[in-house]
Amino acid sequence: MTDTPQVLFKNRRPGETAFLAEYQRSGGYEGLRKAVKMTPAEVRETVKESGLRGRGGAGFPTGLKWTFFPADQLGEKYLVCNGDEMEPGTYKDRELLLADPHQLIEGMLVAAYALQTPVAYVFIRYAYERCAQNLERAIAEARQAGFLGRDILGSGFACEIFVHRSAGRYICGEETALLNALEGLRANPRSKPPFPAVRGLFGKPTTVNNVETLANVQHIIAHGADWFRGLARTESGAGTKLYGLSGHLNQTPCLEAPIGITLRELIQEHGGGVWQGRKMKACLPGGASTPFMTAGQLDVPMDFDTIEKAGSRFGTGGVTVFDETTCMVEATLNLNNFFARESCGWCTPCRDGLPFVSWLLRQIETGKATMDDLQTLRDQLRNITGTSFCALAQGAVGPIESLLRLFGDEVEDHIKRGRCPLKS
Amino acid sequence: MNALLTETQLEEFRTRAAEMPHPRELVIDLLRAIQNNCGWVPDEGVELAGEILGLSPVQVEEVATFYDKIFRQPVGRRVIHVCDSICCWSRGGEQVYGYLQEKLGIVPGGTTADGIFTLLPTCCLGACGEAPAMMIGLTTYGDLTKERINEILAQERQAALSPLPRGEG
């Protein structure tokens, strides 16, 4: 398990943060040096060829996203890094920024060069104050060293990076809500189209990418698209991934491993197996908005297409495991309570639908529900699916849909017995 | 109550607002600075932020009330945010929340009689590998046990009572 190439976590040491000297000792800023000798279009093309897909949850191909951006158009335009990481079970960006903040700064500078954006923002959630401080120090160091600011490495390209500290709310991770938040507006999502690439921050073309996504960019430039594709174990996949383990495991580390590693390897080798000698019942493979997977699906490779075929989503790579004693209704209720509370209140299916779903799940969990309530729950899911203004409510539906699909008997058992069958 | 902003802060925010093409983007920084000084954001803070940024009070208010880490009513000197999301839930988060209520003698949303601690729930803190976790001010504490909670509360109480400048929260 130690033979996995460490790209993003290569400088990671327990309780320490690598700053410029250490970062450069391991090849830091070589990607940027190489990038500024290429044309911006060549950099974009290399990222496209690399097969890099967004690491923030949606998995959109980064190079393709960049083709929508008017990089060659003169004038005000922005690169924004989404560091709002607030999806329960997801803590990889925090671990990266605690360990090695220059990974992001260099990645952003290469991306900014590729997109020709003179201004870039890092949007950081409230709980990540140490990450924000690490980034500010890294920015100052990079400026001192001539990697950031005016005329970067003699290329004539100029870029400033600003850190924006937020004040809570999961919805800020939705890219258009994030743009409103950055502008100092109430962070409700915007209607799309127009997409941010056309009208984004302050009405100007903007690209929004996740922390881990951007941190991969300079490595792709330094080592090439083929090298990056070769890091993954699946044919269609590319790169390594930061996986954050949590839940009922003996160990819950955050680690870097190839795209395509199996759930079994993550859980058995890196998580030390299910805790207290118990068996696994289910897991969330990629954060709170990804449908449950079961113990029978452990050999599915962790990649976007393979997990989707298995009925879930790769998401953020945050794997939360539940042991055999877990009541899946109660776990789903906890998940839905999160989404209901974090709803921004903008649209009815989300604002009113999610609390109603929580109420129905609580009725089931406490043994007060009837079979009619179960039908109402199904109706609610149908009402919410595809009708909400942004993806938040859609994410909330994932675990509930999978609860009914995979654990239907357990749900009905609650109703038939008039109590939770997993509690004595 | 402390001053909303120090003279230095006030001058710095005014200068930055005058130089920036979009001063409104400073609103969260301003509200957090005021909260850091006062412990919360009183009406006068909303008005001051609006005046600096060229916004009406209601334009500031609609932002201030959106965020759960901006307090529009008085809180204790240290706000304890207990994670109640799935990973902490799976590893005893509810027991942590219950223990804190018992130990502090307050219900969620309450403040201890000595004005030191306010207890609130929060969504995931990104400390899923160290669950259960809580955040006090801007410090995240993971791997919580009753013993560890006792130690942390004693430390935080002492720090809150010390005359040194306190951290944000």
pLDDT at A355 over 90: yes
- Determine the average pLDDT of the residues in A104-110: 98
Phi and psi, residue B139, nearest 5°: -105, 130
Q: What is the mean pLDDT of each run of 10 residues along chain B (169 residues)?
A: 89 96 97 97 98 98 97 97 98 98 98 97 97 97 98 96 62
Residues of B in contact with A291 (CB under 8 A): none
For chain B, list the domains and their CATH numbers.
7-66 (1.10.10.1590), 78-161 (3.40.30.10)
Question: What percentage of residues in chain A have a pLDDT greater than 90?
Answer: 98
Cβ–Cβ gap B128/A318 under 8 Å: yes
When scoring A76, A80, A85, A91 by the number of chain B Cβ atoms within 10 A, the one with the most, hence best to mutate, is A91
Please choose, from the candidates A371, A363, A374, the residue with its C-alpha nearest in 3D space to the C-alpha of residue A419: A363
pLDDT tier for residue A1 given thresholds of 50, 70 and 90: very low
Please choose, from the candidates A174, A197, A201, the residue with its C-alpha nearest in 3D space to the C-alpha of residue A56: A174
Phi and psi, residue A120, nearest 5°: -135, 145
Cβ–Cβ gap A288/B85 under 8 Å: yes
What are the beta bridge partners of residue B118?
B79, B111
With 0-12 / 13-18 / 19 or more C-beta atoms within 10 angstroms meaning exposed / middle / buried, residue A264 is middle
DSSP secondary structure letters along A232-270: SSSSS--SEEEEEEEESBS---EEEEETT-BHHIIIIII
Predicted pLDDT of residue A295 = 95
Size of the A and B interface in Cβ pairs below 8 Å: 131
**Model confidence pLDDT, tens digit, residues A148-159:** 999 999 999 999
Chain centroid to Cα A177, Å, comes to 16
Chain centroid to Cα A24, Å, comes to 27
Phi and psi, residue A124, nearest 5°: -120, 135
Q: Pick from B69, B84, B90: which is nearest to A320 by CB?
A: B90
Predicted pLDDT of residue B164 = 59
- Determine the average pLDDT of the residues in A259-287: 97
Which residues are within 8 A (CB) of B164 and not within 5 positions of it... i.e. 6 or more apart?
none
Please tell me the distance from the alpha carbon of residue A240 to that of residue B59, in angstroms, as a whole number.
44
* Cβ atoms of A52 and A238 closer than 8 Å: yes
Predicted pLDDT of residue B163 = 67
- Which residues from B are below 8 Å from A when comparing CB atoms? 21-22, 24-29, 31-32, 53, 62-63, 66-70, 84-87, 89-91, 122-131, 135, 138, 140, 168
Cβ–Cβ gap A245/B129 under 8 Å: yes
pLDDT at A265 over 70: yes
Cβ–Cβ gap A318/B21 under 8 Å: no
Predicted pLDDT of residue B162 = 85
Predicted pLDDT of residue A424 = 76
Residues of B in contact with A128 (CB under 8 A): 126
Predicted pLDDT of residue B169 = 44
Predicted pLDDT of residue A4 = 80
Residues of B in contact with A326 (CB under 8 A): 90
> Full-prediction pTM beyond 0.90?
yes
> By mean pLDDT, which of A109-113, A193-197, A271-275, B161-165 is the weakest?
B161-165
Q: HSE on the CB side for A396, CA within 13 Å? A: 35
* Cβ atoms of A171 and A392 closer than 8 Å: yes
- pLDDT, mean over chain A: 97
**Model confidence pLDDT, tens digit, residues A224-244:** 999 999 999 999 999 999 999
Please choose, from the candidates B98, B81, B100, the residue with its C-alpha nearest in 3D space to the C-alpha of residue B168: B81
Amino acid (one-letter) located at A178: L
